[in-house]
Structure 1
Amino acid sequence: MITKVKFVSIPVKDQQRALEFYTQKLGFEVETDQPMGPGQRWIELSIPGAQTGVVLFTPPGQESRIGTFFNGSFATADVEKTYEELKARGVEFVQPPKKQSWGTSAIFKDPDGNQFVLSSEK
């Protein structure tokens, strides 16, 4: 039986720039970084404390996905605190923390314009 989602893919234009953003600004860790075809690398990152990781890779023919809204959400115990920490590291937010009946969320983007929801764990 399936036990978890191992990783999700984030389409990026410049893999090196994306790698620096996700490791230096978001604190993700490199699990794999190896060549994969002409001009591409397979870059798999882990999120400290999480079972699911991300891959910075754009399959051929999927370039139109770069800079779109990520269909998922990153969770944190304290959205406001994480927002302040990431903002201090230079992460650009398109929506500051906003309280809803279900919890709190904010929206940030990476250097390629991909947008991500940062939400409360529960």
Structure 2
Amino acid sequence: MIRGVKFVSVPVRDQDRALEFWTETVGLRVLTDQPMGAQRWIELSFPGADTGLVLFTPEGHEDRIGSFMNTSLWCDDLDRTHAELAAKGVEFTRPPTKEPWGSYAIFADSEGNKFVLSARP
């Protein structure tokens, strides 16, 4: 039986820059950072969550770097998280926006990948 999502892979051009962004700026923790071919396998964890984030680009998928990620991240307080991340220099391409179905914002990581951020109801 499938029990959940283990990790989401984020395509990156510069693994060191992405690692610094996701750990120092966003606050994720390193679970694994080890050689894997010409790159490294870098697996990160979100505080209190089972799903992780992997900073790895499979060969032939470099064209995905800097694209819209079909991934939505959640936080407890969208306005507060937006303010905290923006103060750390995170680029938001859409500030917190309220819709009938909920509130969300969109931010870019160090590689230009765009993520939806929303508050969990």
* TM bucket normalised to smaller: over 0.9
* Aligned twin of 1:100: 99
Q: TM-score, normalised by structure 1?
A: 0.97
* Aligned twin of 1:3: 3
Q: Which amino acid aligns with 2:26?
A: L
* Aligned twin of 1:60: 59
**How far does the alpha carbon of each residue in 1:29-78 deviate from its partner, in whole angstroms, 9 at most, with x for none?**
0000000002x000000000111000000000000000000001000121
Query: What RMSD in Å do the two structures reach over aligned CA positions?
Result: 0.6
**How far does the alpha carbon of each residue in 1:49-108 deviate from its partner, in whole angstroms, 9 at most, with x for none?**
111000000000000000000001000121111000101111110110001111110000
SS in 2 for 1:58: coil
Deviation at 1:2, TM superposition (A): 1.0
The correspondence of residues 70-81 of structure 1 with structure 2, limited to 5 A, is 70-81=69-80
Partner Cα distance (1:49, 1:92) in 2? 25
Q: Which amino acid aligns with 1:62?
A: H
* Aligned twin of 1:31: 31
Partner Cα distance (1:77, 1:99) in 2? 15
What percentage of aligned pairs have identical amino acids?
61
Gaps of 5+ in 1: none
* Aligned twin of 1:18: 18
Q: Do structure 1's residue 82 and structure 2's residue 81 form an aligned pair?
A: yes
Q: TM-score, normalised by structure 2?
A: 0.98
SS in 1 for 2:17: helix
Name segments (4+ residues, structure 1) moved above 6 Å: none
Partner Cα distance (1:90, 1:49) in 2? 24
SS in 2 for 1:85: helix
